[in-house]
Amino acid sequence: MNSMLPDFTPNVLIFLSHDIGLSYGCYGDPTARTPTVDAVASEGIVFDNHFCHYPLCGPSRANMFTGLEPPRTERFDNRHFFASFRRSGPPGFQTLSERFIGAG
């Protein structure tokens, strides 16, 4: 086992939502009723400055899981599956999931 890795398997939970913005209690919205999300946020990391690179969910998700912007993933609409990019990605390319698997 890699000595740089912790002796436990960390759990990672990523919430991806559409058209919500800051409409959660954990972001200070006084009218939001989001107790479950707020509870999870209180024990994790809440990103205050994350912005999408494209105004559609497909290209934005591809960006989230690859770290590559839409011109690089060539995803500009919601018609293409992310898996098709995975098969033709640049040499040495890894998705976020693959990096987690590689890290144990």
With beta carbons less than 8 A apart as the criterion, state whether 58 and 69 touch. Answer: no
For 31-56, the pLDDT digits (tens) are 999 999 899 899 988 888 877 778 88
Residues 104 and 22: their CA atoms lie apart, in Å, by: 33
- Is residue 40 a contact partner of residue 72, using CB atoms and an 8 Å limit? no
Name which of 74, 76, 93 is nearest 84 in CA terms. 74
pLDDT tens-digit readout, 45-104? 888 887 777 888 888 888 888 888 888 877 888 876 666 555 556 677 788 888 888 887
Q: Which residues are catalytic?
A: 57
Q: What is the C-alpha to C-alpha distance for residues 59 and 73, in angstroms, rounded to an integer?
A: 8
